[in-house]
Amino acid sequence: MTDKTSFAAPGSAKDVEEGAAFTPKFDSAGLVTAVVTDSKSGDVLMVAHMNAEALRKTIDTGEAHYFSRSRNKLWRKGESSGHTQRVVEMRVDCDQDAIWIKVEQHGEGACHTGRRSCFYRAVPLGKAGAVTLEFRDGEKTFDPDKAYRNT
Amino acid sequence: MTDKTSFAAPGSAKDVEEGAAFTPKFDSAGLVTAVVTDSKSGDVLMVAHMNAEALRKTIDTGEAHYFSRSRNKLWRKGESSGHTQRVVEMRVDCDQDAIWIKVEQHGEGACHTGRRSCFYRAVPLGKAGAVTLEFRDGEKTFDPDKAYRNT
């Protein structure tokens, strides 16, 4: 198993922000945030987390790996559904605690609910009080019960 | 101050994923993750966090508000630099613990280092061992020492 020592420890703020050393800053749970966008549409497909092992495997293989907080385990995207993600580009943010990957989404979608993106509902702005979500691009592109039937 | 009770508490998984009630799932620190993209270019500008108050103010005003974990306070984006963000659209993800906002970025950039986006370095893929970052779109668009001189 790959631990945090697979990556160099962060140096000074200047080194982290302006340097060329990749020194990811894992949180107290050992995770960085991963934002995943579709390389074609630019849409945000999902937000997930990576531990050091998931990050290393993603870099080494070019296939998106995450750490599932609910299942407490490493997870290769698509290992159950076949809906894998080929990483086209990976970027890191200024303080190196967030990763942005642009991916080619294989199969019908990224969301476990059966949709292309996890962000299929809009939050209307400028309204006080209770907020009612509006479905957008909310059509299911696959049947999650079939896609995940072997898990 | 707005607390979590400003929003309804999450119901069943089915309600959270398939319903129209906005019931954000704040983490143990009272935060949701906010992914911010440029409404024109589609680029990810930054990743930040919102507490209930920041989320409510963003919804009410259409101006991006965040919660600064380092300063432990609510933060209206651009309050120091003038680089405000007008929210064009807000979306929430399947399990309602992440927000995606598309914004019109005013001023020269979103990143406190003086760049348009916080994601100005690429992580090369397929290389074992130490990783050397590659600057992309890394030119500074403003002088952070001037923009933040009053803070």
pLDDT digits (tens, 9 = 90+) for B34-73: 999 999 999 999 999 999 999 999 999 999 999 999 999 9
pLDDT for position A6: 81
More confident residue, A51 or A80: A51
- Asked if B76 contacts B106 with a C-beta cutoff of 8 angstroms, the reply is no
Mutation for A interface: B94, B111, B132, most A CBs within 10 A: B94
Structure tokens of B64?
């991006």
Q: Which residues of chain B make contact with A91, given a CB cutoff of 8 A? A: 44, 119-123, 136
Structure tokens of B107?
């001023």
pLDDT for position B149: 65
- Amino acid identity for residue B148 in this structure: Y
Q: Which residues of chain B make contact with A61, given a CB cutoff of 8 A? A: 126
pLDDT for position B107: 92
- Whether B5 has a pLDDT exceeding 80, the answer reads no
Tell me: the pLDDT tens digits for A17-69?
999 999 999 999 999 999 999 999 999 999 999 999 999 999 999 999 999 99
The pLDDT confidence band at residue B14, using thresholds 50, 70 and 90, is very high
pLDDT mean over A122-150: 87
The pLDDT confidence band at residue B137, using thresholds 50, 70 and 90, is confident
Nearest to B88 by CA among B66, B65, B104: B104
Give SS3 for A55. Answer: helix
Q: Which residues contact A95 (CB under 8 A, 6 or more apart)?
A: A13, A16, A17, A25, B118
Q: Is A20–B130 a contact, with Cβ atoms under 8 angstroms apart?
A: no
Cα(B46)–Cα(B75) distance, rounded to whole angstroms?
A: 14
Percent share of chain A, pLDDT over 70: 94
Please give the sequence-ordered ranges of beta strands (E in DSSP) within chain B, or none if there are none.
Answer: 32-38, 44-50, 65-68, 73-76, 85-92, 98-105, 121-122, 134-135
Q: Is A100–B89 a contact, with Cβ atoms under 8 angstroms apart?
A: no
- Whether A150 has a pLDDT exceeding 60, the answer reads no
Q: Is A98–B118 a contact, with Cβ atoms under 8 angstroms apart?
A: yes
- B88: nearest CA in chain A? A125
What is the ipTM metric for this complex? 0.93
- A139: nearest CA in chain B? B18
pTM, entire model: 0.94
Q: Is A125–B90 a contact, with Cβ atoms under 8 angstroms apart?
A: yes
DSSP bridge partners of B49: B33
Give SS3 for A91. Answer: strand
Cα(B107)–Cα(B81) distance, rounded to whole angstroms?
A: 9
For residue A60, count other CB atoms closer than 10 A to its CB: 14
Q: Is B37–A17 a contact, with Cβ atoms under 8 angstroms apart?
A: no
Structure tokens of B106?
């005013």
First to last CA, chain A: 23
Outline where B1-84 has alpha helix (H): 13-18, 52-61
- Asked if B142 contacts B114 with a C-beta cutoff of 8 angstroms, the reply is yes
Cα(B21)–Cα(B16) distance, rounded to whole angstroms?
A: 7
Give the gap in angstroms from C-alpha A148 to the nearest C-alpha of chain B.
17
Q: Which residues of chain B make contact with A95, given a CB cutoff of 8 A? A: 118
- Whether B4 has a pLDDT exceeding 80, the answer reads no
